[in-house]
Structure 1
Amino acid sequence: MLTKASAELTLFDTLSRLSFARAAKLLGAEGSRLIMTGGKHDIDIASQVEFDQQRFRLAINGSAVTLALSPTARDRLEWHCNTCDAPCEHAGAAFSLILEEKLALGLAGAPPERVPVEALADDALVAQAIAERQERARNEKMRVRSLQPQQIWTDYTLTNAASGKSYRVALRGWQPGESYCSCPDFRKNTLGTCKHILHVLEKVRRRFTESARNRPYRQRQICDPGMRRRPPAVLLRRGGEGGALFLHHPEGGQRPGETQRGAHLRPDRRRQFLRRA
């Protein structure tokens, strides 16, 4: 297999080889943080991205970030944001999108031949969309960390090895709609699944026994149901401005020790204090 010289690489070649570390260097000292922060934006590729052999352009929040080849730029790749003079979150979002969505952008090899969307029935369209995400779940490298390693139905953190972006997966069952992911695709695709959920499902399928896999998720009772019926406490002040704070319970008045506990709370802590009451 012949390898192109650096000067012969096209924009597609350059972006397809882009790594998280290299992208972070292009953005300077704050590069890693900007990519992670920019990755939180929900971006629609079809309406916000223009991509051809000459340039990659992302429209985001009134700004436009452009990436193009330049013989004088570092690694021959130059980026520009039309509203910012320094490395910014907009540029971070552009690099994050490229790192995370190489398959969708056509940077991860030629996709297989597919039946045109217009020719598919609803069920076939859903099946194709899930198959695309299954393919990405298999091919993309992700690090998985379990909140409770001995439990199959628990929360997981997935980190994409290419982009560095992390998402939370709440795994609750095998069927679409039973689990949750914090990624933008899950929020908007209406499939009830995404590549992150599918990736975790495949990992736990190999790790856990058949008995554990067949055991359904059961929601735990985390508090006494009777406590939910108790009217909420109210934070009051005794003696006007500057007086001690205390909790008034409609059913039982002030509880022992609550004057002292409430009196020394900072304003930003009082809301949390009331929630625990």
Structure 2
Amino acid sequence: MLGERLAAALGAARDGAAGIESFAHLLGSRRVGPRGVALALPEVHEGSAALVAALDSLSAAVRDGFVETEDAAAADAACAVLGHAGVEVARLTDELSRAAAPAAAPGRSPGRGRGERGASERGIDARQRLALEASVRRTARELSGALRLSELVIATLELRPTPLDLIDVLRNWSASPAEGRPVVKITVASPDGRANEVEGDVRAVSGLLELAVGMVGAAGVAGPHISVSRRPDGRSAVRIAERAPREPAPAVALDVVVRDSGERAVAVARVVARRARVELVEAPGGRAVTMTF
């Protein structure tokens, strides 16, 4: 099991991210008026500030968690992702602070009894609400991606290999929507059904497939094609690239969500592959990625 400190830090970060996500939904709800949004601002601001500290604590716990493995590169990859998310949450915290700051009530002067009223009394206008919603959703997406990437690295501390079917793994990914993330259509060809059968930790295998699709997509491949083949040594090779004209017809077509594809995500993919003993090879230019399980 994960160390208590690491598990607690991860739980606190997840709770904070859930709070940001909930506020994004509240801002987008027509049932919640301007005053209702304003009333929620102080609590959300407080939670956002606490989340900055929670992400720092999680980074420290991750570093401690990898001390015994003597794998500083793994800790670096996860902490780079969490550090970027922390900067984004700090930005949102400042924005929430400004939105919740007291402002003079329209039509009243400070000397006429009520003085200044906070945002919770006067509400926020439509323009401010739309801008705030866009900002909160941006942070929610960043947090979702950062926690997913860091959890992938953390999962390598306790890999649990089991028999897997790669097609089933891909179908499960296709069934997992993510709001605000781009969707691409992938095709899969596997002439030898036995090649789909691999041994691995489902979190690592699924995460690596997602990241590899994101990597080739970022390099300009609009419709990634996944070909699965059996190597002479019995291992399975998975190649993600454009479909070659003479390749076998795809057996499966799926719409999948592309979550992450930047430099930090690539660094995580390399670390997870190494620790999960998956051979990962990137073609020059990044338009093809091959993984051998």
- TM-score normalised by structure 1 residue count: 0.25
Q: Which structure has the bigger radius of gyration?
A: 1
Greater percentage in helix = 2
- TM-score normalised by structure 2 residue count: 0.24
Q: Which has the bigger relative contact order, CA under 8 A and spacing at least 6?
A: 2
